[in-house]
Amino acid sequence: MNISKAHPRFLSLSIRERLANAVKDGIMVPEGLIAHGRAEAFDYLLGEKTTFAASKATLAATALLLTAEYPVLSVNGNTAALVGREIIRLSHMLSAPIEVNLFHRTRQREHVIAQYLKRLGAREILGTREGAKMTIWGIASPRREADPRGIGRADTVLIPLEDGDRAEALERAGKRVIAIDLNPLSRTSQAATITLVDNVVRAVPGLIKAATRVRSLPRRKLVTIIENFDNEENLAITIQEMIGYLRGWATD
């Protein structure tokens, strides 16, 4: 398909094409395309932009990552395909390891994703070593597996495009969880310590920008940013923004 750059839907059409290719390359599973469609619909209800509430969550998440003892960035197929390069950059900035964690898990796909990220410049990818995995309790999918050198010992985990089961289980395991999820009603969004209700292609660059801006702040300032952030309130504001968008249509 030939899409003109002038097309008003150029960005989302070219992202779709990129994802279809990621399925062909074995980075993504077909189910990942369905998840992307769900995200598209919610993004549509946010006017496809980073809201004020999302910016606030991004700043608080950055402070959480910068003050963490051992932060880990979790990556699945969609995340690798959409923002692989940016996750690697964030990983370098934070000295935070990257761990592959898949819902539709095969050794083969773990390997393909790790190789892909290494080609993009990642030094090491955790979560792919056979026989060196531990289990996070209460997860009804292969996502229960964690690398003891990564998510297993992390105090803070970034989980872009996650399922609710693992978000809840990671919280129960006492970890601080940063979710990136366009559905503010999802179990993931509700369970996380901080939720970025934003498109991952805007959210991860947003984290990089925020980290550049605040990483030299004294620790107590970062802690204040975290303490002043209320995830529940922030999600409620996001839902209000969606309501406003729908109401605009209903009264047209």
Write out the binding residues for a copy of itself, residues 152-191 only, by CB under 8 A.
Answer: 164-165, 183-185, 187
Q: Which among 65, 58, 68 is positioned nearest to 210, based on CA atoms? A: 58
Is the CB of 33 or the CB of 173 nearer to a copy of itself? 33
- 93 in contact with a copy of itself (CB under 8 A): no
Q: State the pairing for strand pair 156-160/71-75.
A: parallel
Task: Select from 4, 95, 108, 216 the one that contacts a copy of itself (CB under 8 A).
Answer: 4
113, 100 Cβ separation under 8 angstroms: yes
| Binding mask of the shown chain, residues 184 to 223, with x at each position contacting a copy of itself by CB under 8 A | xx-x------------------------------------
Q: Are 100 and 75 in contact (CB under 8 A)?
A: yes
Using rule CB under 8 A, residue 243 touches a copy of itself: yes
Taking residue 100's Cβ as centre, other Cβ atoms within 10 Å add up to: 24
For residue 129, give the 3-state DSSP assignment. coil
124 binds a copy of itself (CB under 8 A): no
Cα 111-112-118 angle, rounded to 5 deg: 85
Residues that bind a copy of itself (CB under 8 A): 1, 3-4, 6-8, 16-17, 19-20, 23, 29-31, 33-42, 44, 104, 140-141, 164-165, 183-185, 187, 236, 239-240, 242-243, 246-247, 249-251
